[in-house]
Structure 1
Amino acid sequence: MAIMSTFSFLATAAAELAAEGGSEGGFGLNTNILETNLINLVIIIGVLFFFGRKFLGKTLSERRSKIEEAIQEAQKRQKDAATALADAQQKLAQAQAEAERIRAAAEENAQAAKAAILEASRQDVERLRETAVQDLNTEREKAIAELRVRVAAMAMQRVEVQLKERLDEHAQQTLIDRSIATIGR
């Protein structure tokens, strides 16, 4: 910026000199080196080049180092972001794998539970059938036993009635004698 202001100043000064020279005699070529300030301009440009080069070099060097630092910092942030992204993607992949494993385990558990419930239900139905058959058999045996008792009671009543009708005193005495005779033998 200092160089630009210096060049601007020199350009303004040269324009003023040209204006002064034009008012004296019109337009013409001035070949006098001392009057045209060409030596002064060369000296000023040389001084500016010599001292400005160091200043401009230093400024550009500082600017370049700042840009390099910014680039290095940006590259470091990019590497850190890439590392963080890779870690996040790895964690995501692990989480997805774990979710898939949990889902598969849940499906297996559900299938096992379903099979266990079906087996338990089948066993319950079988047990209920067996119990029903046993209850039916028990009830049938009770009914048969009850019928036997009734039939036996009815048979006994009929036999008693028939015995009373058929056996008179004389037949009873003969039956008793025969029984005693068979016992004595």
Structure 2
Amino acid sequence: MDIRLFLLASEAGEASGFGLNSNILETNAINILILLGVLIYAGKGFLGKALSQRLETIESAIKDADKRKQVAIEQLADQQEKLAQAQAECDRLRQQAEVDAKAAGAAILATVDADIERLRESADQEIATEQERVLIQLRQRVAEQALAGVRAYFGRGLEDSVQRELVDRSISLLGSK
């Protein structure tokens, strides 16, 4: 609406006794008081009901949050207890593993020591057997060479008495070894 029409209507109303008051300060204070009175009277029930429902909702949410908090605290305590049990079991297993490792190490060392001793004995036996075999071969070669030397010497011709003496001496030398 145009402002000119508004002013015309307000001037026409002043002339008849009923009209619009154009004093802004007077009309605003009265209008605000009237409006507040109407709102308080009409909105009292509605606003009270809405606020009580909101209060119940908030209280319900708080109770629910408290319940969840309590459940969470209980679950935390259970999980902490399980963690402590798991750590204790871990420590026990670690200690047992260390004991088992030491026992296994000792058993392995004992087995290795026994194997080393057995290998030494076997090596000593093999060395003794090889030495015996070499000695026998050396004796055989020495005897063969001696016999070959004697045959060569006797092949040139010796008397029977000298030949018998040399054979007896060779036999006695072989028998003493």
**TM-score (norm. length: structure 2):** 0.51
Q: Deviations over 1:99-145 (max 9, x none)?
A: 222221221111101111122223334444565677789999x9xxx
Q: CA deviation at 1:66?
A: 1.1
Q: Which structure 2 segments of 5+ residues have no match?
A: 1-19, 141-159, 165-177
Q: After the TM superposition, which residues 34-53 of structure 1 pair with which residues of structure 2 at under 5 Å, given as runs?
A: 36-44=34-42, 46-48=44-46, 50-53=48-51
Give me the CA root mean square deviation. 4.2
Secondary structure, aligned partner of 2:24:
coil
Aligned to 1:27: 24
| AA in 2 matched with 1:42 | I
| AA in 2 matched with 1:28 | L
Aligned to 1:62: 60
Secondary structure, aligned partner of 1:47:
helix
Aligned to 1:147: none
Point out the more displaced range, 79-88 or 105-114: 79-88
Secondary structure, aligned partner of 2:49:
helix
Aligned equivalents of 2:116, 2:30: Cα separation in 1: 121
Aligned equivalents of 2:73, 2:33: Cα separation in 1: 58
Aligned to 1:171: none
| AA in 2 matched with 1:71 | K
Aligned equivalent of 2:75, options 74, 77, 91: 77
**TM-score (norm. length: structure 1):** 0.49
Q: Does 1:92 find its partner at 2:90?
A: yes
Aligned to 2:9: none
Aligned equivalents of 1:32, 1:135: Cα separation in 2: 141
Q: Deviations over 1:6-65 (max 9, x none)?
A: xxxxxxxxxxxxxxxxx7524123465897133223334543564344323211110101
Aligned to 1:105: 103
Q: Deviations over 1:47-91 (max 9, x none)?
A: 356434432321111010111122122222322322232233223
| AA in 1 matched with 2:87 | Q
Aligned equivalents of 1:85, 1:65: Cα separation in 2: 30
**Aligned pair in 2 of structure 1 residues 35, 99: CA closer, same or farther (>3 Å)?**
closer
Aligned equivalents of 1:34, 1:132: Cα separation in 2: 131
Aligned equivalents of 2:101, 2:43: Cα separation in 1: 81
Aligned equivalents of 1:32, 1:73: Cα separation in 2: 57
Aligned equivalent of 1:123, options 121, 124, 141: 121
Point out the more displaced range, 77-86 or 105-114: 77-86
Q: Which structure 1 segments of 5+ residues have no match?
A: 1-22, 143-156, 162-185
